[in-house]
Structure 1
């Protein structure tokens, strides 16, 4: 466009040559982190593998990131890079996005950070984070627009064929429940919910099954699963509906009844709240039979 570049982009690291994917390839950095005194924006790439080990392997980067932010640098994490960002303490008391499949693990590691379910981008002033995998593009466009303007962001989105205003990764999420806890009574209740999705399940019924007072049951359920009882029931039912839309030729009413809903409006509202799509939109997008037919 005949304009001066606004960005001077550099790869930096703890060593001159960074092995990636178990040595499958190597990234050569321009400068070491110890040589960077200041920057406007520091981007943490996604980590890989066991998150605890990945953070430990990169712990030497933490004081550099903290110091750069202290000097005025904005910090962004891409996908699972949120785990290293979380380790800096810069997100304590704030909100964060990361890959949907790692929500529970992130919450276990960083109890002072709120993971926002389904979000593509979280902006906490000078700290940004993105959802899973290709959501990194949406964060990069968001930052690009902030540093330039909407026109440039749209131009880049068109050039790279990116949906610039995608704001949720919920449609891609697979809800498996949160069972990485030691409360056996709550696990029993979770199993009952998963085995009885076709029925109407009440909180009192579940509390009676595990022989706990309703108030205590609701409190313990929230602590163990990070969901209220009703939220959990909804998520399990909607997950079952999603699988049915993907693998069968059943219509919306049939699927709705199969997962225990009798009110089509309530089913549509809950389905869209959880997935970001209407039941019809989801079926048209992900139904295997339809894809094979085409």
Structure 2
């Protein structure tokens, strides 16, 4: 059986630990029991901390580990899987108090045999990035902390719209309960598609999700000190439904168009046109969530004229058509 090592630390999200353990331990078990068949467990799990001492999750529950990462007898085997759960407490504080874990991750096996060997859920990606394991790799994390992540780890190819990223030997899952999706994916990789499908059915998990974009809010994108770009962002906040051209923005900022594009991208991670689209899409999301205005009316209110073009753009940014988005999130 495949061994899965789940790492515990103070301030972790308890459900991301106990949930992923349940998922792996019941692969090949629950479905068999439902169908009155003999269970065939596919994974063994163990919960380890750096020192082997109990740790307190963010929900106040204290968990007892099975051993210590610092104990040579507990070191994960070369072909095992290491899971890093969500940071539930303040991220910077956990990173500061988890230097031993960060160092352990940095020294961990980097073997690449076509399998995922280290995986993180949600903000657990900060620990992998802090250890340098994500430099030059595609990764994801909770959409709400994506800007903080980008500024702290500029060498990482962050894809916050994705629910799961895989760049062997490392995988990352996005926000909150995305450990479901990561777990099902890893079960499929290690135990086969049939076992994964049966597990998803047993847990009533929608295994077809690929994006966390529908759940994200507009990122502030203002963690920078470029005063000219900040003033331009404030102007766009008030005028985004109006016709806006690059020439207009350049004139308002006092920059050439080339300098504007370069500085806007450096400050916000996006082009002026891309940022304008995000503002309009976020306004449309709010209308869809809070009003009964027609999609045609919303299209006009946020600065677009063609409904079909707007709908394609909305789907590109959120992963859902406007009508489907309203059905899921509307009042």
Q: TM-score, normalised by structure 1?
A: 0.94
- The CA deviation string for residues 149-170 of structure 1, in whole angstroms up to 9 with x for no partner, is 1111111111111110100000
Match of 1:53 among 93, 98, 112: 93
Match of 1:9 among 17, 36, 45: 45
Q: Secondary structure at the match of 1:8?
A: strand
1:37 matched residue in structure 2: 75
User: Alpha-carbon deviation of 1:4?
Assistant: 4.5
- The CA deviation string for residues 245-274 of structure 1, in whole angstroms up to 9 with x for no partner, is 111110001100000000112101110000
User: Alpha-carbon deviation of 1:61?
Assistant: 0.8
Q: Secondary structure at the match of 1:272?
A: helix
- Identify the structure with bigger relative contact order (alpha carbons < 8 Å, sequence gap 6+): 2
CA distance in 2, matches of 1:221, 1:25: 44
Superposition map of 1:219-234 within 5 A: 219-234=262-277
User: Alpha-carbon deviation of 1:31?
Assistant: 0.6
Match of 2:282 among 233, 239, 263: 239
> Structure 2: any 5+ residue segments left out of the alignment?
1-31, 33-37
User: Alpha-carbon deviation of 1:64?
Assistant: 2.1
User: Alpha-carbon deviation of 1:70?
Assistant: 3.7
CA distance in 2, matches of 1:3, 1:246: 45
Superposition map of 1:72-83 within 5 A: 74-83=117-126
CA distance in 2, matches of 1:3, 1:280: 43
- The CA deviation string for residues 161-188 of structure 1, in whole angstroms up to 9 with x for no partner, is 1110100000000013300100011011
1:153 matched residue in structure 2: 196
Identify which range, 92-101 or 48-57, moves more after superposition: 48-57
- The CA deviation string for residues 213-260 of structure 1, in whole angstroms up to 9 with x for no partner, is 110000000000001111110000000000011111100011000000
Q: Secondary structure at the match of 1:119?
A: coil
- The CA deviation string for residues 55-74 of structure 1, in whole angstroms up to 9 with x for no partner, is 11111112322333246781
User: Alpha-carbon deviation of 1:134?
Assistant: 1.3
> Structure 1: any 5+ residue segments left out of the alignment?
289-294
* 1:169 lines up with 2:212 in the alignment: yes
Contact kept? 1:37, 1:68, Cα under 8 Å: no
CA distance in 2, matches of 1:82, 1:107: 12
* 1:62 lines up with 2:102 in the alignment: yes
Q: Cα 1:70–1:276, aligned 2, differ >3 Å: closer, same or farther? A: closer
CA distance in 2, matches of 1:37, 1:233: 50
Q: Secondary structure at the match of 1:10?
A: strand
Contact kept? 1:170, 1:274, Cα under 8 Å: yes
Say what the alpha-carbon RMSD is for the aligned residues: 1.5
1:204 matched residue in structure 2: 247
Contact kept? 2:57, 2:63, Cα under 8 Å: yes
Contact kept? 1:69, 1:75, Cα under 8 Å: no
1:138 matched residue in structure 2: 181
Q: TM-score, normalised by structure 2?
A: 0.84
- The CA deviation string for residues 107-128 of structure 1, in whole angstroms up to 9 with x for no partner, is 1111110110310100011101
CA distance in 2, matches of 1:212, 1:227: 17
CA distance in 2, matches of 1:259, 1:241: 6
* 1:26 lines up with 2:84 in the alignment: no
Contact kept? 1:38, 1:68, Cα under 8 Å: no
Identify which range, 204-213 or 12-21, moves more after superposition: 12-21
Count of residue correspondences: 287
1:291 matched residue in structure 2: none
Contact kept? 1:18, 1:26, Cα under 8 Å: yes
